Amino acid sequence: MNDDHRRRVPRTDTVLADARLEPALATLGRARVKEIVVAAQERARAGEIAPEAVADEAVAALPPTAASMRPVVNATGVLLHTNLGRAPLSAAAQDALVSAAGTTDVELDLATGGRGRRGAGALSALAAAVPDAGGVHVTNNGAAALILAATALAAGREIVIARGEMVEIGDGFRLPDLLESTGARLREVGTTNRVHRADYADAVGPDTGMILKVHPSNFVVTGFTSSVPAGSLAGLGVPVVSDIGSGLLAPHPLLPDEPDAATELRAGADLVTASGDKLLGGPQAGLLLGDADLVHRLRRHSLARALRVDKLTLAALEATLRGPEPPVRAMLSMAIDRLRSRAASVAERIGAPAEAIECVAQVGGGGAPGVELPSAGVALPVDLASRLRGGADPVVARVEQGRCVLDLRSVPPEADERVVAAVRAVLA
């Protein structure tokens, strides 16, 4: 390459001053943007691009944001989609999370200057939401809550559990394996379809650390079945732990078969474990509620330190508990008439070939298996499903009966406009 060509390659500072790189300096940092500029200069010096094209090349090479996770619209009709991050946070919870992201008094008592109880606000909000719980604790996720209970109460001892409740929770993870990883031994009782109180009573002995009830949250067994509610297992002389999974703190009128923490505790369960990012509508977290002494034992167990939640989770959880109805609960209870009129409006704004349709949504994500939620949405030609996923503002649809269905029950109403724009963009 001749010297003249090399001399025409702009200097790094000159390129960095290009206005188009300015937002990236804020999101990616000067060092990262500089690397991208230097790479473009190298290409110019190697003769691969014109010296005048260095700034254009650098702008084109910028990643859109510093994080590769992208916001998407969930139009699958599965309200709690694990692959899409489960419950979307309320605006209040998002704000709380952002303000906790800096330096915060998560574990400092500002009045005394001494150590405070970590996440005291979130814990008291949780305790206030479930007055039947003598103690509360929060872990990283539901599985961690279960692991903590199993380790503290049953490591080296037995966990009595019904055969029909030995469930796989997704992505190949199985609760029995998880429980055995704590050093506890599983003592299975009953058969796949039936278990009775006497089965538990016969199995409980001096080596029993706890009885575990697991809500079969992602399947239903029908026909000749029987199971034993956690409450009827109280009085066998060992702690009864109930993994309700979904995180309902109180009964929900639309989900009569879904267990909730208050009812379980009132019936006699000693400890309830649940997830924060399912029907509670909050951040990923594990909730432990119940007997004050048991919760205290769990909280002081050394494993608790490894399962500790961060300040962002605590902030979002508190705001979810104290704030307005979280999006997933609004989606769950949205009236079908409202969904129909949203579907008609979205279909009309898209125009042909969109067609407003009735469909069926589900709770998903380990909650209310078999519950069909009447819904409405928009049907499109099937090939749009992948094109919508690949769009600039990705929309994840459901493919059903040879069509691409956009189910609006899992879409917050304020995102309808994004759906319309995304479809129009791929149809254009």
How would you label 122-134 residue by residue, b for 16+ Cβ within 10 Å and e otherwise?
bbebbeebbebbb
214 binds ligand PLP (CB under 6 A): yes
Interface with ligand PLP in residues 194-213 (CB under 6 A):
none
Burial zone of 208 (CB within 10 Å; 0-12 exposed, 13-18 middle, 19+ buried): buried
Report, in Å, the least distance between residue 291 CB and ligand PLP.
Answer: 20
Report the residue number, 100 or 280, with the smaller CB distance to ligand PLP: 280
Cα–Cα dist 405/357, whole Å: 9
Q: 397: which DSSP letter?
A: -
Token pair listed for 38: 């230097």
Report the residue number, 149 or 405, with the smaller CB distance to ligand PLP: 149
Report, in Å, the least distance between residue 122 CB and ligand PLP.
Answer: 16
Cβ-contact 407, 363 below 8 angstroms: no
366 binds ligand PLP (CB under 6 A): yes
41 binds ligand PLP (CB under 6 A): no
Report the residue number, 80 or 376, with the smaller CB distance to ligand PLP: 80
Provide φ and ψ at 286, rounded to 5°: -115, 130
Residue at token pair 């060992």:
238
Provide φ and ψ at 371, rounded to 5°: -80, 125
Interface with ligand PLP in residues 310-349 (CB under 6 A):
none
360 binds ligand PLP (CB under 6 A): no
Q: Which of 300, 227, 240 is nearest to 268 (CA)?
A: 240
Report the residue number, 10 or 366, with the smaller CB distance to ligand PLP: 366
Coil, helix or strand at residue 133: coil
Q: Which stretch binds ligand PLP (CB under 6 A): 141-149, 194-202, 299-307, 345-353?
A: 141-149
Report, in Å, the least distance between residue 117 CB and ligand PLP.
Answer: 23
243 binds ligand PLP (CB under 6 A): yes
The one among 34, 43, 213, 215 contacting ligand PLP by CB under 6 A: 215
258 binds ligand PLP (CB under 6 A): no
Q: Measured at the alpha carbon of residue 201, what is the angle toward residues 199 and 205, in degrees to the nearest 5?
A: 120
165 binds ligand PLP (CB under 6 A): no
Report, in Å, the least distance between residue 329 CB and ligand PLP.
Answer: 17
Residue at token pair 């993870």:
173
Token pair listed for 323: 């704030």
Q: 68: which DSSP letter?
A: S
The one among 41, 141, 208, 242 contacting ligand PLP by CB under 6 A: 141
**Site residue total, ligand PLP (CB under 6 A):** 12
406 binds ligand PLP (CB under 6 A): no
Coil, helix or strand at residue 85: coil
Q: 169: which DSSP letter?
A: E
Report, in Å, the least distance between residue 178 CB and ligand PLP.
Answer: 9
Cβ-contact 194, 142 below 8 angstroms: no
Q: Measured at the alpha carbon of residue 359, what is the angle toward residues 328 and 355, in degrees to the nearest 5?
A: 110
Interface with ligand PLP in residues 80-119 (CB under 6 A):
none
Cβ-contact 326, 280 below 8 angstroms: yes
Report the residue number, 28 or 214, with the smaller CB distance to ligand PLP: 214
Report the residue number, 24 or 146, with the smaller CB distance to ligand PLP: 146
Interface with ligand PLP in residues 271-290 (CB under 6 A):
275, 286
The one among 119, 142, 209, 239 contacting ligand PLP by CB under 6 A: 142
Report, in Å, the least distance between residue 203 CB and ligand PLP.
Answer: 21
217 binds ligand PLP (CB under 6 A): yes
Cα–Cα dist 292/236, whole Å: 19
Residues that bind ligand PLP (CB under 6 A): 141-143, 169, 214-215, 217, 243, 245, 275, 286, 366
